[in-house]
A and B are shown apart, each in its own frame.
Chain A
Amino acid sequence: MWESFGFEFVNFYFIPGLVLGCIYALGAIGITLTFGILRFANFAHGEVMMTGAYVTWTIMAITGALFGWALHPLIAAIPSIFLMILVFFVVDRFFYKPFRKAPTIKVVMASFGMMLVIRSLVQILWGPNQITFVRGIAKPNGFIRELTGSLDMMILVPNKHFLIMAGTVVIVILLGYLLTSTRIGKAMRAVSDSPDLALVTGIDVEVVIRATWIVGGACAVAAGVFLAMDIQMLETTMGFRMLLPMFAAAILGGIGKPYGAVLGGLVIGLAEELSSYPWIGDSPLLSPGYKSGVAFSIMIVMLIVRPSGLFKGRTF
């Protein structure tokens, strides 16, 4: 059973799907919070992910040149998070804030413009070509292989995949604590559920908005760095490629529901990878070239059947 079916399925389809799902989940958290609290679809989110990964790579390269050893991506990501939160603040102050009272479509348009502005800035600074993020072939983690191998269920997880999954779990737990047990987290949920009611109870909306950018920015950089760790390279289009699946995840989970976004991300990631598994016969069910179509189809079906998403989010 394991040899004929499980080994291939788990190691080559399920785990990569889970890893991809983790990346989508982290990106979708930011999108769903912005959508829920600021009430607009932020098209620039994917580009911030991408820029965060580029900044992380630069920090790694600088420490590598200065001290002879490069920082681990996860450590280099921490200063990058602060920088990208700053970028979010600047973008919000100069490009989104002027439209806060205007019809939301204006700010969607502004974010659509920011998407191009940020991407071309990265293309000017780092050049349009691919950059190698981490060198070498990722070997499966020896300990996990031995342990599961002795149980006749050999699982091959490279360290990078293990780190991505563990990192996502840690971030989601921290986010859960923030949203349920802290004052600002409760305020964020309140604004997301009903902005008028939140305003009446004396919640400072601007503070909540700043908190949204902080949480969204941190998750976006984490997602960007995880993605770069996974594919081991940097491209200027990688943020845009993530955008559609992340929107799909946010809509699937329900707008304004961070846990929904996490679940949605995992579902989308798994669906994309599992769609190319040979379910019927020997050939892939869906040609891998159409992978990104899966997220879109799920989103369209969701918009028809249940626009409020699995977790009963907002509909506009």
Chain B
Amino acid sequence: MDQLIGYFLYFCSLLAVGGIYSLIALGLNVQWGFAGLFNVGIAGFVSIGAYTYALLTTDTSPLHYGGLGLPLAVGIVAAMIASGLISAIIGVICIRLRSDYLAIATIGIAEIIKLVLKNNSEITNGPRGINKIPRLWENFTEERFYNDWPMSWFASAETWQSIFSSLPRWWWQPCFALSIIIAVYVVYKLLEKLRLSPWGRMMTAIRENEPAAHAAGKNVTGRRIEAFILGSMIMGLAGAVLAMHLRLIEPTNTFDPSKLTFLVWVMLIAGGSGNNRGAILGSFLIWVIWSASEIVINVGIDVIGDFTNIHVGILSTRAGYLRMLLIGLLLQYILQKYPLGILPESRPTASSKT
């Protein structure tokens, strides 16, 4: 039984992280799939969202600024707004230039954000990061939540305590995973609506033939900036959820560009850029491959360790890089052989309902 619960909880965490990657990939799909904007600073936008959420919602702490203890929803909305604001600045400057410049600028802004988070210790606690970030569902078991409204309206602190102590320790895990999946579904539905709307069609037109769209009187730069901001806001939302999931964030390893930016790009390209369903499928697929490859490589290392006298420690520190190498080669292969991805983009026909 315990083992079954273990598998179930592993499944829940796969689902949760896969859902977070899906959110980022959906955001990237708005930028790249819809508008053709090449953003390689994903880690930066996600970290802005995560830090905004963390600073606003954690309990007061002497280590970093505030810990304002605001409601979780406020933190999530603020995370989206913060990410959107940063992207608006970058977008206004770089979007009129060709995509290469946007790529350079976004990779730069991600580095700058990392520098700011690392160096402003009095606000962000520097490289040591922010701890005890409230996680949806699990936070209800924390004292400061059940002592305060709205939970105190329904039952007294003692009742809540007894309810939580009667539940198994992991009760919040499936709820958390489910909430993420619902969030992915909501974002997906909204983006599908957007894709089929006049705005979405205009985006496709701009991406495919900019001069023609321009000649038809469309505000090309304006629409592109809108798409860039919208995508970054979704990334900010994903950042807030990531902060919830991890509960401890710090500027460098948590937001490692190779694991966020690069992996998300592989997910979107593999799933099918321009297709929202493809973005979600690619995220879960690549995430499962990525997690499974860790297990496979670890087993392989154990086998090598059993039959030879090579030091296993050296192998396992380098195995992570082998995974990165293989994922990189996978990207190259998909780019050349299946540029459309698993689920290619489907254009709305002229008669389809909006």
Chain A residues proximal to chain B, CB less than 8 Å: 35, 40-41, 43, 95, 98-99, 104-106, 108-110, 112-114, 116-117, 119-121, 123-124, 127-128, 243-244, 247, 251, 287, 289-290, 292-293, 296, 299-300, 303-304, 307, 315-316
Binds A, one of B4-12, B164-172, B288-296, B314-322: B314-322
Give chain A nearest CB distance to B259 CB in angstroms. Answer: 10
Nearest residue (CB) in A for B38 is A105
Give chain B nearest CB distance to A237 CB in angstroms. Answer: 10
Give chain A nearest CB distance to B116 CB in angstroms. Answer: 8
Q: How far is the CA of A296 from the CA of B109 in the complex (A)?
A: 8
**A116:B339 contact, CB within 8 angstroms:** no
Chain A residues lying within 8 Å of B99, measured Cβ to Cβ, are 104-105, 108
Give chain B nearest CB distance to A24 CB in angstroms. Answer: 15
**B40:A112 contact, CB within 8 angstroms:** yes
**A116:B262 contact, CB within 8 angstroms:** yes
**B119:A296 contact, CB within 8 angstroms:** no
Give chain B nearest CB distance to A140 CB in angstroms. Answer: 31
**A303:B324 contact, CB within 8 angstroms:** no
Give chain B nearest CB distance to A106 CB in angstroms. Answer: 7
Chain B residues lying within 8 Å of A251, measured Cβ to Cβ, are 101, 104
Which of B99, B258, B314 gathers most chain A CB within 10 Å? B99
Q: How far is the CA of A120 from the CA of B63 in the complex (A)?
A: 35
Q: Within B83-138, which residues are at the interface with A (CB < 8 Å)?
A: 93-94, 97-101, 103-105, 107-109, 111-112, 115, 118-119
Binds A, one of B182-190, B195-203, B213-221, B329-337: B329-337
**B97:A106 contact, CB within 8 angstroms:** no
Nearest residue (CB) in B for A290 is B115
Main secondary structure of the interface of B (DSSP, over half): helix
Main secondary structure of the interface of A (DSSP, over half): helix
Query: Is B36's CB within 8 Å of the partner chain A?
Result: yes
**A116:B336 contact, CB within 8 angstroms:** no
| Total count of chain B residues near the partner, CB < 8 A | 40
Q: Within B3-38, which residues are at the interface with A (CB < 8 Å)?
A: 36, 38
Nearest residue (CB) in B for A31 is B104
**A296:B112 contact, CB within 8 angstroms:** yes
Q: How far is the CA of A105 from the CA of B108 in the complex (A)?
A: 18
Provided the pairs A123-B321, A124-B318, A293-B115 are in contact, do residues A95 and B100 lie with their beta carbons within 8 angstroms? Answer: no
Q: List 10 A-B contacts (CB under 8 A).
A: A43-B107, A108-B103, A109-B38, A114-B332, A116-B258, A120-B321, A120-B322, A128-B321, A293-B112, A296-B112
Query: Is B265's CB within 8 Å of the partner chain A?
Result: yes
**A244:B40 contact, CB within 8 angstroms:** no
Given A108-B100, A108-B103, 7 further pairs, Cβ under 8 A = A99-B336, A120-B321, A120-B325, A124-B318, A244-B111, A299-B108, A316-B101
Query: Is B348's CB within 8 Å of the partner chain A?
Result: no
Query: Is B300's CB within 8 Å of the partner chain A?
Result: no
Chain B residues lying within 8 Å of A119, measured Cβ to Cβ, are 258, 324
Provided the pairs A128-B317, A300-B105, A304-B93 are in contact, do residues A117 and B325 lie with their beta carbons within 8 angstroms? Answer: yes
Give chain B nearest CB distance to A305 CB in angstroms. Answer: 11
**B324:A120 contact, CB within 8 angstroms:** yes
